[in-house]
Structure 1
């Protein structure tokens, strides 16, 4: 059975994606630091693996067909954790996936990762980390898809999005649940390989914007 490895499965987006894939009948390997954070999810198609992204976490890659990297250091950490998780752990995940011959690697990046020099001084370490991780994936030879969401919000999903960057900064937002919907949609769609999409709230269906 094909399995999707979700790295960062206890985070907001990762957990929603895990639940959605399981609801669709897909097999999921959830890589988390603390399995208790997924104690509310019960499914015979879910395998929970505890791992530390700052150490060797290669073990679950041998059993998966696809990878979603949705881990992040979080907004309350410093530049050190940003480098260790958003950059170094992401790069290690790419290398592990390549060694395991994973068929599709989906990276959750960020708007601004294309040009970190345009970011604020506070955000530059994060943007640089995302940029370098994306570049490592692009050059890896893996079949990849990179999603760069705008400012994340906790509003309910609308199912309507756009990949065209809005002209106003205040409109560059996307609901976390809609990002999870996008990741779920991308699983199994190898035709999305080699593509990068920015994601914002909009008025179009996923099938219309992801092609």
Structure 2
């Protein structure tokens, strides 16, 4: 049983921060086709933009994460990017076709940067804060926490954007930024608990004559 409660909390927080995937795969197509003047094919172009930006900047962003502190700060920077993307998405509903297409492209670039920063931060925290002698157990806990939160993501995004429209984007962006900011103190707390944890007890050796 894991006793590093901040690590478990971080795994749940990471699941919330992965919501950028639902925004890209569910929220963005829903928004483009029902709330903007952009043509329907724009959705495919935006997904392709996401792939290009991810390929071009993945290594560069990954190199900025070297320890627990930089991993947590990467998540926080991702929060700023997603809030910015949410604001741009909210503005596209009132724009003509061409400016709307340009703004949507910029929003997806920001959303992709969020993805890269969150992913790099997640990998850094999940491994650097794990007990090296129980790595599989820690990674399993990290994955379970993520999946528990992600299971609710699509319906929450759909409800927020369908019922609240522009306000939904702003609420999602603000909540994401607040959650991303919590990653920094929580990561330092997890690291402190990791350092203070007692060493594992040595396994008892069987007695008896060989």
Would you say same fold, with TM above 0.5?
Answer: no
Larger radius of gyration: 2
Q: Give the structure with the larger helix fraction.
A: 2
Range of TM-score over shorter length = under 0.3
Q: Give the structure with the larger strand fraction.
A: 1
TM-score by length of 1: 0.27
Q: Which fold has the larger relative contact order, with Cα–Cα distance below 8 Å and residues 6 or more apart in sequence?
A: 2
